[in-house]
Amino acid sequence: MALLKMKFSQQRRVRLAQGLWLLSWLAVMCGAFIFCLGVYLKIELLRRDEVMEDTDIHAVPNLLMLVGLASIGANWVASRVCQDSLDASRFPRWKVLLLGWYAVAVLLCCLLLAVVVLSYALQGRLEESLKVGLRNGIRFYKDTDVPGRCFQKETIDRLQMEFRCCGNNNFKDWFEIQWVSNRYLDFTSQEVKDRIRSNVDGRYLLDGVPFSCCNPASPRPCLQNQLTDSRAHYNYEYQSEELNLYSRGCRQALTDYYMGLMNSTGPGVLSVILIQLSVLLSMRYLQTAVDGAMALESPEGESEGYILEKDVKATYAEVKAKALDLLKFAQVDPASEVAGAEEGEKAAEASAKAATTAA
């Protein structure tokens, strides 16, 4: 018994074909939107590539671009099928191709759903990647004369100013690393010598931060150095003072930014999935209705359209049987291989004997 069976007159088939043609072009535009969304997200990730340890998160924009392009192609084909559906001489050529088209359409819906899941599932990987990448970026901040790291200072400074953040977790991260290059230190100064001697690793550590951590919204002139010394500044108490620095760490700022981008794609991608499913189901109704009319040899008569020719269980069993038959056909029988090898050996021996006799 056919699943979700409906009656289609000639007029209803025409309207279905016209509606599906419009829906197909809407799906083409949605595919273009998905592709552009993937490109935008890819560019935004590449802009911060220097502060990311791995590229696992790139799976999301890569999938979006792949699915977007495939959706454009698949739905363009659907629009062509709609144009040929009412021409008895042109529609039969699509019958075999539509089997592959259905597989592609289902795969597109599954991949789009995977994009939505990945957008939420990769948050932990994104945070860890930013944690390691930012830690290295801050550590190499001073290496302005080292090849491959000379732009690290500019990258971190622009990052902190753009996202209004400071350090990896907070501004105190700058206290734990030497962020001033040795070339700018006066090693004849007693203060510099004392700071270097006081550190086990011989680093010049400061209770200060780069200028890019300063919050311009603060009414007080920026305090960058001697932040832990309450006596170093007038009317200042380190423990209770609301510092004029950005309080949020850059890891949290970037995680919120990228997760906001990817989470905002969720509703849009789910809408595209619904449109793609509508195209898929409408195409199936159109195909079966037109095939039914052609089978009755009455193009203008009433025909039946359905999603599945049999119920779900019977359809599954039929598809499984066909798949097993294909696998059996593709396999080579070991017995036949052995028999073929023996025949080949006998033929070679016979040829050798004939050659010896002739000699």
Confidence at 351, pLDDT banded by 50, 70, 90 = low
CA 31 to chain centre: 14
**Predicted confidence (pLDDT) at residue 336 exceeds the cutoff of 60:** no
Q: Which two tokens stand for residue 57?
A: 């998160």
Residue 214's beta-bridge partner residues? 245
Residues with Cβ < 8 Å from 5, sequence gap 6 or more? 304, 305, 306
Confidence of residue 357 (pLDDT cuts 50, 70, 90): low
What does the pLDDT look like over 33-61, one tens digit per residue?
999 999 999 999 898 888 888 777 888 88
pLDDT at 224: 86
Q: How confident is the model at residue 310 (pLDDT cuts 50, 70, 90)?
A: low
Confidence (pLDDT) at 213: 92
| 282 inside domain | yes
**Is 256 part of a structural domain of the chain?**
no
Give the residue, 324 or 355, on which the prediction is more confident: 324
Q: What are phi and psi of 97, to 5 degrees?
A: -65, -30
Residue 81 domain flag: yes
pTM, to two decimals: 0.75
On whether residue 49 sits in a domain, the answer given is yes
What DSSP designation does 332 have?
A: P
Q: Does 354 score more than 80 pLDDT?
A: no
Q: Is the pLDDT of residue 91 over 90?
A: no
Residue 154 lies in a domain: no
For position 329, what pLDDT does the model report? 62
Average pLDDT for residues 114-143, to the nearest whole number? 87
Query: Residue 90 has what pLDDT?
Result: 77
- pLDDT at position 6: 77
Domain count, the chain: 1
Average pLDDT over residues 222-230: 84
Q: Give which of 175, 176, 174, 152 is closest to 165, Cα–Cα.
A: 174
In tens, the pLDDT along 267-309 reads: 888 888 999 999 998 888 888 888 877 777 766 777 777 777 6
- SS3 of residue 181 by DSSP: coil
Query: Within a domain: residue 25?
Result: yes
Q: Is the pLDDT of residue 188 over 80?
A: yes
Residue 95 in any domain: the answer is: yes
Residue 166: the pLDDT is 92
Predicted local distance difference test score (pLDDT) of residue 50? 86
CB 142 within 8 Å of CB 178: yes
Residue 273 in domain: yes
Q: Which domain holds residue 48?
A: 3-137+263-323
pLDDT at 355 over 60: no
pLDDT of residue 315: 65
**Residue 313 scores a pLDDT above 80:** no
Residue 65: the pLDDT is: 93
What average pLDDT does range 122-151 have in this prediction? 87
